[in-house]
Structure formats: C-alpha cells, structure tokens
Structure 1
C-alpha cells in the first residue's frame, strides 16, 4: 500500500485558504442538516475531503514560512516553539 497524497481538483487547488474554508463550512452545514440525498451527500463529502486537504496543505506551508521567519540570520533557530495562531 503506497501512501500517495490525494489528488486535489484544479478548482480547489486554485482557491485561497479562506475560500476553501468557507466552502468546506457550507458543505459541513449541508451534511449536518441531513436533508441531502445520498448520492449528493457522497459527492459533496468527497469535495469536502479535497477542500480539507487543500486547507491542511496551505496551513502547513504557512507554518513552514513562520518557522523560516523565526530563524536567525546565521541559520540558528530563534525559537523552537510551535506557531500558535491564537
């Protein structure tokens, strides 16, 4: 079993974090209401997975950028604490 990353549709990959999160929240809301037909539920769940994966990728990139910013000019770490956005 290979551990390959899931494919993200092009339209999702082009979204900003905020756009993807907003659409994901709408999908979650629709699924929580329970009024979506089964086939549509499966389709929007799959899209939600793609949106979630895209958001996670963007967050990881942002985290790496913050870590890079925290590094000193000489290459030593200025801080080893994890980034806390709150």
Structure 2
C-alpha cells in the first residue's frame, strides 16, 4: 500500500494529529530548507484531506437535517448521558 493510499484512508482525527506533528516539527527550527519544504508539502496535503473530511461530514449532516425536517422526531437531550 502506498503512502498516498494510506493518507486517503486516514480519519479526520488521524490526519489532524499528523498535521499537528508536522507543524511542531516545522516550528522546532531544526529542519534544513529541503526538509522544511517537504514537510510543508506533506502538511498542505493533510490540510486538504482534513478539509475534505469536514466537508463530507457537513454534507451528511445536511442530508440528515433535511430528512429530519420532513419527519421530525423530538427527544429530550441530556448532555450528561
């Protein structure tokens, strides 16, 4: 399995975790210019991946919201449960 295939299978949380690690690595000041550019490129790809995952989730929520509007069912919500 290639790295590109693995990145496509990452969850939002996994992608965000990798992105945060890249940012920390870049901010450390220990990377030479070539590696800094490579990490920037990898981070940019992860950012696009995470943005896509968020967009997919928003689209699913909108579909569910529209379905609920047609057949509303209300339940008491207790955030402590």
Please report the RMSD computed on the Cα atoms of aligned residues, expressed in angstroms: 1.5
Which of these two proteins has the greater Rg computed from alpha carbons? 2
Q: TM-score, normalised by structure 2?
A: 0.75
Q: Gapped runs of 5+ residues in structure 1?
A: 1-8, 79-86
1:43 aligns with 2:38: yes
1:31-56 Cα offsets, whole Å, 9 max, x none, are 11111111111111111011000000
1:26-84 Cα offsets, whole Å, 9 max, x none, are 0001111111111111111111011000000000000011111111237xxx8xxxxxx
Q: Gapped runs of 5+ residues in structure 2?
A: 73-81
Q: TM-score, normalised by structure 1?
A: 0.71
SS of residue in 2 equivalent to 1:70:
helix
| CA distance in structure 2 between the aligned counterparts of 1:10 and 1:39, rounded to whole angstroms | 24
| CA distance in structure 1 between the aligned counterparts of 2:59 and 2:38, rounded to whole angstroms | 32
User: Which residue of the other structure, out of 70, 76, 80, is the alignment partner of 1:73?
Assistant: 70
Which residue is 2:7 aligned to?
12
1:58 aligns with 2:53: yes
